[in-house]
Amino acid sequence: MQQKYKPLFESFSLRSGVQLKNRIVMAPMTNFSSNPDGTVSDAEVDYYVRRSKGVGMVVTACTYVTPNGKGFSGEFAGDSDAMIPSLRRLATAIKQAGAKAVLQVFHGGRMCPPDLVPNGDIVSASAVAPEQEGAPIPRALTDSEIEEIVHAFGETSRRAIEAGFDGVEIHGANGYLIQQFFSPHSNRRTDLWGGSLEKRMAFPLAIVDEVKKVVAAHAKQPFLVGYRFSPEEAETPGITMADTLALLDALANKDLDYIHVSLMDFWSAPRRGVESTRSRMELIQERIGKKVPVIGVGSIHTADDALKALQTGVSLLALGRELIMDPDWVEKIEQGRESEIDTTMTKHDQARLVVPDPLWQAIMNTPGWFPVAENV
């Protein structure tokens, strides 16, 4: 390995006691590839094993905590104890390959397709549809239903412990239910769960508290709790960068193991809410990085990209598309072969890259998502 890349391979100790062998994390990515009964498929296990050898930690695709939270076809389930053997199979496979295994827990809220949830009953903080053509209007959750969902996040975290995962990541990003409660676009409530900025934080913080309580009660060995969030929203009204920083201040006081930013580009600039020429990641790291480890992500294609990102002070870096295109990304840097990292793919690479059919079809049918070299 080139000496300059050594910082990427320093070990890292999280607050919970979980130890990571390096600073590189596999980002959570939906793969649409679970079995129809909600269990993890063979193809999914193979896909994770292929990418678990080099990274320090794998964050899985999201698992839904209640039947009405299923956001994707082919999403694996975490909503009942019957799913613990399926979850255990995934955790075991990732850990045997050499990485820590973290289960991402999730509820899709108003983003759930009606045909995936019982009776097509789409729910959210308020009866406000997303700004997408033809999107259904969700039903506003009742107080008791909100409490039930908070409890369900705890229950799925208990299942993760019993299945042998090393931790859970609470999915508060990408416009799903937790973010819907924080957003002034989707949350128009005037009760305990909405109205002011502080009340819009109540649901995310209640979930963090519930999950941490469950971990304290059930984990017999170090078990991490992370939180993923999206910094801003395009909608008006929507989450601004100022709102984001207020939420981060609250999360930074919760003794989390890390906070994971969801971005397509590590260096993207804020839209609104702060006057700054610096990137969102730099603002976030400056605001909370001394209190809680930050995971940065977004278009980190090469070893030099990773080094530059790490020099902002973030503790860990997550790779998503990069590990799909090159499952050996980490090992190539470690072996001094960083010039051989693949940053494109061809339509003939599915078997070599061990990508399940549904994910491969999604990649091939979504122009611009991945750099697919033509005429190869």
- Tens digits of per-residue pLDDT, 263-280? 999 999 998 878 778 999
How does DSSP classify residue 110? G
Grouping H, G, I as helix, E, B as strand and the rest as coil, residue 127 is coil
Residue 370 lies in a domain: no
Residue 85 lies in a domain: yes
Residue 310 lies in a domain: yes
Residues constituting the chain: 376
The one-letter code for the residue type at 15 is R
Residue 371 lies in a domain: no
* Statement: the pTM of the whole predicted model exceeds 0.75: yes
Torsion of CA 304, 21, 228, 221, to 10 degrees: 180
| Averaged pLDDT, 141-164 | 98
176 counts as catalytic:
yes
- Tens digits of per-residue pLDDT, 4-16? 999 999 999 999 9
Give every CB contact of residue 110 below 8 A, 6+ residues apart in sequence. Answer: 122, 123, 124, 128, 129, 130, 135, 136, 138, 177, 180, 186
Residue 258 lies in a domain: yes
Residue 364 lies in a domain: no
pLDDT greater than 80 at residue 303:
yes
The pLDDT value recorded for residue 212 is 98
Query: What φ, ψ does residue 235 adopt, rounded to 5°?
Result: -65, 155
Residue 285 lies in a domain: yes
- What does the alpha-carbon distance between residue 201 and residue 197 come to, in Å, rounded to a whole number? 7
Average pLDDT over the chain, rounded to whole? 97
Q: Which residue range is the domain that position 127 belongs to?
A: 3-343
Active-site residue identified among 47, 48, 64, 176: 176
| Averaged pLDDT, 291-312 | 97
> How many domains in the chain?
1
Note the Cα 85 to chain centre separation in Å: 22
Identify the band that residue 375 occupies on the pLDDT scale cut at 50, 70 and 90: low
The pLDDT value recorded for residue 277 is 84
Residue 210 lies in a domain: yes
**339: domain CATH number?**
3.20.20.70
